[in-house]
């Protein structure tokens, strides 16, 4: 049986490049989702809209706000209809998020 020896595999370089691209994708997704959430966000004083932000870790992009009444606006209450702005910012633009991923991976 023939034996193959890999002298310089570059596996670490490839994995580092992929990790870097994943970080770029997550950041682009976050910036894009923030913009859409701001567009969808109902405005009274502007506090909620101004508080929309994103964060990323190794594998996830988080979109949200730290305003205490944000869940009531997004989900509604027994006295107020829901006015979703976070969920549509993600769900209505899945094709665009896929394009962002493809663009980063092809660059």
**In whole angstroms, how large is the CA radius of gyration of the chain?**
20
Residue spans per domain, the chain:
26-106
Tens-digit pLDDT profile for residues 92-102: 999 999 999 99
Query: Sorting pLDDT into bands at 50, 70 and 90, what band is 2?
Result: confident
The model's pLDDT over 23-40, given as tens digits with 9 standing for 90+, comes to 999 999 999 999 999 999
Predicted confidence (pLDDT) at residue 6 exceeds the cutoff of 70: no
pLDDT greater than 90 at residue 59: yes
CB 25 within 8 A of CB 96: no
pTM of the entire predicted model: 0.85
DSSP 34-79: HHHHHHHS--SSSHHHHH-EEEE-SS-EEEE---TTHHHHHH--SS
Distance CA(93)–CA(9), nearest Å, equals 38
Structure tokens at 69: 């009444």
What pLDDT is attached to residue 92? 98
Is 98 strand, coil or helix?
helix
Report the pLDDT averaged over residues 1-7.
Answer: 72
């Amino acid at each position: 049986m023939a034996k193959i020896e890999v002298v310089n595999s570059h596996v670490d370089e490839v994995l580092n490049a992929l990790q870097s691209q994943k970080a770029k994708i997550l950041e682009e997704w976050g910036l894009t989702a923030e913009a859409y959430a701001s567009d969808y966000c109902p405005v009274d004083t502007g506090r909620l809209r101004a508080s929309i932000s994103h964060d990323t870790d190794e594998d996830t992009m988080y979109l949200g706000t730290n305003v205490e009444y944000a869940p009531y606006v997004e989900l509604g209450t027994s006295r107020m209809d829901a006015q979703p702005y976070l969920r549509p910012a993600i769900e209505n633009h899945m094709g665009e998020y896929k394009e962002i991923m493809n663009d980063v991976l092809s660059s």
